[in-house]
A and B are shown apart, each in its own frame.
Chain A
Amino acid sequence: MTGRSYLPSRRAALLSGGGLLVGAGAASAGWALSDPAPASASVTVSAVIPPDDDLMREHGVLKRVLLCYREMITRAQAGRPLSAAHVQGAALIIHDFIEGFHEGLEEGYVFPRLAKAGVLVSTVDTLLVQHARGRVITQFLLAHSTAGQLAGAGVTTRIAAAMQAFVTMYEPHEAREDTVVFPAFRQAVPPAELADLGQHFADLERQQFGTDEFTAMVDRVAGIEQELGIYDLAQFTPVVSPYEPGE
């Protein structure tokens, strides 16, 4: 197994077992995984993330964009204006990273292996159709969300409806992939081949985005969350005391 080395990166931090600086850019921007390490700290990690784990991490980015979409839907439904920068920023993460990379890995490497094994055939067909529909929605969002367009009558409502359709489709989509499709893929692929594929995914990431694409994408979505006021995780914690079930 050939290792890879990212210095410093969230990927490396995750692989190393925690406690590491996320990256100078992320830390200075105000969001980090954990307590900052000294500025001179660097970490060398030689490990390959299994391909299905890698895809599930990328689903985490997708989930966070869906959360941004939800917040924008809520604002639109309350009659509040949408920011072109927020719509475009969130949709571009989907376009560039999820649709332009993550789904290509699924379509090129995961789904064909399941087809070859003859498992989850109709599920995969549905996932493929949903990828295609999602791309159409994203194209709509990107084409209709300039500041001038968002000022037009009814445009915000249409944008919110498109976002809602996207969220409604992708929440069960990614949940099914994480819980059914990826486990079936892992079962269908011999361990050595799985390791090679993990390395290949890492190489493709590097070719397409540079050395630290995952951290960059997490930072991009975190920035939008901050501007939307939904970055602070604690705000989602419900008050449960006193709590009486059934009340």
Chain B
Amino acid sequence: MPTALGCAAALTLAAGCSAAAATGAPGNSAAKSAVTVKVDARSVPGVGTVLVTSTGYALYMFEPDNRHSVSCTGACAGTWPPLQLPAGAAPAAGPGVKPSLLGSDPDPAGGRVVTYDGWPLYTYTGDIQPGQATGQNIDLNGGEWYVIGPSGQPLIPAP
């Protein structure tokens, strides 16, 4: 079963990561223009309806990013692989997801990362199956991690 593992290691292990996150078939210019990285929404037990990848893995925001930039790199990105946007690709909204909130930010490690309402989006390696959100409300790598709803609002539990 594919996991959210392995789209962070820019130095030696980048091959295959972008393709895994994207839908479509890169290979020629016509096909490249059709490549999209789809963001969906689905209900995840225990947290509610949240943004997920096209394969159903929960997407997270990182508080220190401050709706501004990708700050999780290096070892952090090993644990929280960013949702990469391959060159020439565009983010696409699935049902329930607002296309106007989709965008992208440069990744300091190279390439671009899909954003939603300004928040760079990440998966979590602890989610080994679609439909999980085991990284919700975790304090790690210098800040809090939360799943994010289709409204663009992080789902922050009440204290």
Q: Known contacts A128-B128, A129-B126, A135-B138: does B12 contact A103 (CB below 8 Å)?
A: no
- Number of contacting residues on A, CB 8 A? 34
Q: What residues of B have a CB within 8 angstroms of the CB of A197 in the complex? A: 11-12
Main secondary structure of the interface of B (DSSP, over half): loop
Residue B78 CB within 8 A of the other chain = yes
What CA separation (Å) do A207 and B142 show in the bound complex?
Answer: 14
Nearest residue, chain B, Cβ from A207:
B74
Total of A-B residue pairs, C-beta within 8 Å: 93
Docked complex Cα distance between A196 and B12 (Å)? 8
| Residue from A101, A131, A139, A142 in contact with B125 in the complex, judged by beta carbons closer than 8 Å | A131
Q: Which of A109-142 contact B (CB under 8 A)?
A: 109, 111-113, 115-116, 124-125, 128-129, 131-132, 135-136, 139, 142
Query: Would you call the interface of chain A mostly helix, strand, loop, or mixed?
Result: helix
Known contacts A108-B6, A131-B125; is A139 also within 8 Å of B74 by CB? Answer: no
Residues A105 and B3 in contact, CB atoms below 8 Å apart: no
A117→B44 CA distance, assembly (Å)? 31
For residue B76, CB closer than 8 A to chain A, the reply is yes
Residues B78 and A104 in contact, CB atoms below 8 Å apart: yes
- Find chain B residues with CB under 8 A from A112 CB: 5-6, 9, 13
Contact with B126, one of A135, A139, A207, A208 (Cβ below 8 angstroms) = A135
Interface size on B, residues (CB 8 A): 28
Can you show 18 pairs from A to B with CB atoms below 8 A apart?
A95-B140, A100-B140, A100-B142, A104-B76, A105-B75, A106-B78, A107-B8, A107-B125, A108-B6, A108-B9, A112-B9, A124-B5, A125-B128, A128-B125, A132-B126, A135-B126, A136-B138, A139-B139
* A interface residue numbers (CB < 8 A to B): 95, 99-109, 111-113, 115-116, 124-125, 128-129, 131-132, 135-136, 139, 142, 193, 196-197, 200, 204, 207-208
Residues of B near any A CB (own CB < 8 A):
3, 5-6, 8-9, 11-13, 16, 74-79, 81, 124-128, 134-135, 138-142
